[in-house]
Amino acid sequence: MTKKKVFVISHSHWDREWYMPFEQHHMRLVTLIDNLLDVFKNDSDFDSFHLDGQMIALDDYLAVRPERKPELAAAIKAGKLRIGPFYILQDDFLISPESNVRNMIIGRDQAREYGQEVPLGYFPDTFGNMGQTPQMMTLANLKTAAFGRGVTPTGFNNQVGDADYASQYSEMWWQGPDGTRILGLLFANWYSNGNEIPVERTAAKKFWDQKLADAEKFASTDNLLMMNGVDHQPVQLDVTAAIKVANELYPDYEFIHSNFTDYLATLSADLPKDLSTIHGELTSQETDGWYTLANTASSRVYLKQENTKNERLLENQAEPLAAMAYPAADYPHDRLRYAWKLLLQNHPHDSICGCSVDEVHREMLTRFAKSQEVARFVAHDALTTLTAKINTTDFNEQAKPFVVVNTTGFTKTGLTRIVVEWDRIAFSATGTIQEQRHQLEQRLAELPELMVVDAHGQSVPFRLIDQQVAFHYDLPKDRFRDPFQAIELTIELNVVNMPAFAWRTLALQPATQTLVPNATVKAQPRLISNEWLKIGVEDDGSLTITNRETNKTYHQMLVFEDTGDMGNEYIYRQTADKRAYYSTDFPMEVRVVHADELGSELELINYLEVPTSADEQLAKETHAIVDITQRTAQRSTQKVPLTITTKIRLNPNSRQIQFESHVNNQAKDHRLRVLFKTALTAETHVADSIYETVTRANRPAKNWQNPTNPQHQQAFACVFNEANGVTVGNLGLNEYEILPADNTIALTMLRCVGEMGDWGYFATPEAQCQGAFTFNYSLELTDGSEAQRIASYQRAQGMQTPFSNQQTWQHTGTLEADDQYLTLATPEFAVTSLKRANNSTGLTVRGYNLSDRQVPLKVTTSLSKQAVNFFEEELPEVTTDTLMPMEIKTLLLTEAGRA
């Protein structure tokens, strides 16, 4: 009889920072790898150690032990230390599509510096798995993914719940929305099912009787996987002795100390034909809903906002501008890689999810700041280089030219703000600094009437926002710094329908004609409108909005809701009083801020009062580590003001309404959301996810017991039917919920709690998110057509990236004043990256199909095109001129005959 094989894989799931600050975990990682190197020398039967699928562990170790790099390299080459394929173990849903890809690229590249990466997409503790994982793994040359969550319920302290929720086997086919299929491995008994194996025979017999039964319950073959490790687990020094005992106790089994490469090869050869197929995203949809951990999308929302800002700076500004400005030899690969690695260090699930102790998240803010500064440096340098190549000689001598660039992959309309230097006096000029300032102040007082003109001499409406004399300095590349004082004029203007990756040159100059305001623009105290929309503020502070194209009117829009939260950083749990406070029950004020050719703006102030915190019962329950489902706390009877000031902006040339809300939060233990009541009849909705416009049910499955059904999003969520649609966009607000009673889109703005949660009591007072916050989001009403919906998705994504602009001077140049770097004519193609190729002199353009239809892909360029995978390896069977349903596509653009 053929023996069953038991593959024991030693590992340690290394949360880089979590319930202790980074350096506390870091020092323990150093000890772990020190011990591993000793084990490799002293135990010839020790096959290997799986370093958790993340290359950053090596970076962290070598930061302390650089002298041991040769030993590490030798252990990797010998197959003793198994590394990669990723840089970090990320949260899928809370980082951008490109961040997910860069994690794979950087991880694979670093692994290849040592040898060969483990051929496994490794997601042991990811808080749900993205639906496009099969296609993404295939584009990274991976055929298998292993994961712990999303299928079975996993509760407090990672206890795996009722097996009735499990799939047929722990092995299954996983099919993405585009049809791509890979092998999925579920850690059905968690990634610790072979941890701390006893050597003593009686204990070993008891241990293995249970572990083998558990594994065989789900295994599809006679090849059983035992994961010898768990979170931050020290290496089991006597594991080979324990395996020897197991082989003596169970003659019908062969216990092998092994690795994923050998296990996968054996498993794949024995897979049965009746494996189940799971489809799309895995977010524990078929569980009771309590431990999906989806509410980490709203924990410490300031982290999500900084992350989105950081991603947009790198993906949609620094990289495209550098591609547009520099030849391949000058492209700043190293600086951008450095910025990306800093950003990715904030993307492990316990970090970006905001579910760690306060010290962890303070350090994250520093990393964000560093990465953003590098991105800004690259973007500014590239923009300066680009604008210097543009011909600006068509303006008059007194004109101050500036260039506005759309660095997104969509046609973009909206306001842009630029600071124009009108005049300057260097410190090195005649007179004291005070005398120089006085001269500038006089010139500012005598400023002529101004106008903005485009490259064709046409007047462009603008607002003068601010004017001042300010100190600045230049840092020339070939000489010492140059301090000066200057007249600065801050202006705002409306850019209309600028194509993707295009620029326009304008100038601020003395007026050559009398400027007459547009008399057709009228303001009413509570009403603004344009060609497509009419927005009215009701007495209760809610908005009534009419889509003028369809004559559909929506009521109770922009209603703020505040509820108590007795949960933790992982899970929202409403306080037992079940009371919700709505802005419509409190006083409000509204005023017109702007009503001119640039658009209309209202300021709405809602004066809420909410409880200061939860009552004393919550402190007792958290300290006693009472499970959140069993808590009974209510909200305090004491109140504190919660004033919400919202700017409501309507551009005359856009269907999108933009909102900017300001809150100074002084309340604790609560959740603040903004509600948009759609009242549309629909059973499903869509949301912006990772390389996917994902369709989700508006109501949870029958097994669901959680009163709420929170969901993840990137840039938007949309409820629609055959006649109408409502798209709500956001900037760094990753949590929403569809309220089933009337299909309201509820967008979470703040969720404030005082403890980390999970396996003990960890106080997190800074997770109460006290202080000032600004929230940016948008609303668009559509008809029932897919074309309007996709346009609304584009505008929601485009809202996250402002126009780039740069003042220049009058000079000749090889580039036209108005031009486009790359022409895109496929509305469904959502571009996520434009950059120089890593491995050639070409460019790469990556994006995905926003629709579930096959569409022509029209990318116009003089360069040759070929389809490639994430590592820029050619995919000869993939066409360059067609975009399949839900397809992710990377195009490599090169000069003919060059690579």
User: Is the residue at 367 inside a domain?
Assistant: no
Cβ(867)–Cβ(852) below 8 Å: no
| Residue ending a domain, choose from 258, 287, 316 | 287
Please state, as a whole number, how many other Cβ atoms lie within 10 Å of the Cβ of residue 476.
8
Q: What is the CATH number of the domain that holds 260?
A: 3.20.110.10
Task: Please report how the helices 333-344 and 358-388 are oriented relative to each other, as an axis angle in degrees rounded to 10.
Answer: 160
Burial class for 746, CB neighbours closer than 10 Å (0-12, 13-18, 19+): buried
340 within domain boundaries: no
CATH of the domain at 874: 2.60.40.2220
My answer on whether 80 and 204 are in the same domain is yes
- Residue at 213: amino acid letter: A
Q: Which residues contact 780 (CB under 8 A, 6 or more apart)?
A: 655, 656, 657, 726, 727, 729, 792, 795, 796
Mean pLDDT calculated for residue range 312-327: 98
Q: Which of 487, 493, 499 is nearest to 436 (CA)?
A: 487
Kindly report the CATH number assigned to the domain that includes residue 747: 2.70.98.30
Tokens representing residue 231 in the block: 């979170």
% of the chain beyond a pLDDT of 90: 94
- pLDDT score of 736: 99
Report the pLDDT averaged over residues 168-197: 96
Return the number of other C-beta atoms located less than 10 Å from residue 696's C-beta: 20
Is residue 76 assigned to a domain?
A: yes
Q: Counting Cβ atoms within 10 Å, is residue 677 exposed (0-12), middle (13-18) or buried (19+)?
A: buried
Q: Which of 637, 607, 642, 658 is nearest to 752 (CA)?
A: 642
Count CB-CB contacts under 10 A for residue 124: 21
Helix (H) or strand (E) run with residue 301 in it: helix 301-313
Residue 886: its pLDDT value, please?
A: 98
Q: What is the pLDDT of residue 824?
A: 95
Pair (141, 175) in one structural domain: yes
* Residue 532 and residue 516 share a domain: no
Q: What is the mean pLDDT of the chain?
A: 96
Claim to verify: residue 405 and residue 497 sit in the same structural domain: yes
Identify any residues that bridge with 588 across adjacent strands, giving them in sequence order. Answer: 606
Q: Is 60 exceeded by the pLDDT of residue 781?
A: yes
Mean pLDDT across the stretch 231-244? 98
Residue 600 has pLDDT above 50, yes or no: yes
Confidence band of 518 (pLDDT split at 50, 70, 90): low
Report the distance separating Cα 250 and Cα 57, nearest Å.
36
Mean local confidence (pLDDT), 243-266: 98
Query: Cα 527 vs. chain centroid, distance in angstroms?
Result: 35
Query: DSSP for 199-264?
Result: -SHHHHHHHHHHHHHHHHHH-SSSEEEEEE--BTPPP-TTHHHHHHHHHHH-TTEEEEE--HHHHH
Q: Which residues contact 479 (CB under 8 A, 6 or more apart)?
A: none
Burial bucket for residue 157 (CB in 10 Å: 0-12, 13-18, 19+): exposed
Q: What are phi and psi of 700, to 5 degrees?
A: -75, 175
Query: Six-digit token pair at 135?
Result: 């296609």
The per-residue pLDDT for 154 is: 54
Contact 203, 307 (CB under 8 A): no
Tens of pLDDT along 32-59?
999 999 999 999 999 999 999 999 999 9
Residue 189 inside a domain? The answer is: yes
Q: Are residues 511 and 604 in the same domain?
A: no
Give per-residue pLDDT as tens, 625-682: 999 999 999 999 999 999 999 999 999 989 999 999 999 999 999 999 999 999 999 9
d(CA 537, CA 557): 10
Active-site residue, 125 included: yes
233 and 148 housed in the same domain: yes
- Asked whether residue 317 is assigned to any structural domain, the reply reads no
Instruction: Look at residue 115 and tell me whether its pLDDT is greater than 50.
Output: yes
Within a domain: residue 305?
no
User: pLDDT tens for residues 813-852?
Assistant: 999 999 999 999 999 999 999 999 998 889 999 999 999 9
Residue ending a domain, choose from 237, 271, 287: 287
Domain that holds residue 155: 4-287
Across 724-738, b (16+ Cβ under 10 Å) vs e yields: bbbbbbbbbbbbbbb
- How far, in Å, CA of 456 to CA of 180, rounded? 50
Q: Write out the two tokens for 754.
A: 């005082």
278 has pLDDT over 60: yes
What is the structure's pLDDT at 286? 85
- pLDDT score, position 370: 99
Q: What is the average pLDDT across 590-596?
A: 95
Angle at alpha carbon of residue 710, lines to 785 and 617, rounded to 5°: 155
Is 130 found in the same domain as 165?
A: yes
Q: Say if residue 762 is in the same domain as residue 829.
A: no
* End position of a domain, from candidates 751, 774, 807: 807
Q: Note the residue count of the chain.
A: 899
Whether pLDDT at 293 is above 70: yes
**Same domain membership, residue 216 and residue 241:** yes
CA distances from 125 to 53, 130, 148, 190, 244 (A): 12, 13, 6, 9, 30
Residue 871 counted as domain residue: yes
In the 8-state DSSP scheme, what is residue 703? T
Using one digit for the tens of pLDDT, what is the confidence trace for 444-498?
Answer: 999 999 999 999 999 999 999 999 999 999 999 999 999 999 999 999 999 999 9
Distance (Å) of CA 420 to CA 454, 460, 507, 706: 15, 15, 9, 54
State how many domains the chain has.
4
Q: Which two tokens stand for residue 897?
A: 């005959």
pLDDT at 741: 93
Segment 72-87, tens digit of pLDDT: 999 999 999 999 999 9
Q: What is the pLDDT of residue 522?
A: 59
pLDDT of res. 153: 56
Q: Are residues 488 and 561 in the same domain?
A: no
* pLDDT of 163 above 50: no
User: Residue 164: which pLDDT band, with cuts at 50, 70 and 90?
Assistant: very low
Predicted confidence at residue 840, as pLDDT, reads 85
CB 670 within 8 A of CB 563: yes
Are 54 and 130 members of one domain?
yes
Q: And the tokens for 25? A: 């975990």
Residue 831 CB neighbour total at 10 angstroms: 23
Spatial distance between the Cα atoms of 110 and 187, rounded to a whole number of angstroms: 27
Catalytic residue among 47, 92, 125, 562: 125
- Is residue 343 domain-resident? no
Co-location of 453 and 532 in the same domain: no
pTM of the model: 0.96
Report the chain's C-alpha Rg in angstroms: 29
Collapsing DSSP to helix, strand or coil, 452 comes out as strand
Q: Is the pLDDT of residue 897 over 80?
A: no
Q: How confident is the model at residue 157 (pLDDT cuts 50, 70, 90)?
A: low
The pLDDT value given to residue 694: 98
Instruction: For residue range 411-435, list pLDDT tens digits in order.
Output: 999 999 999 999 999 999 999 999 9
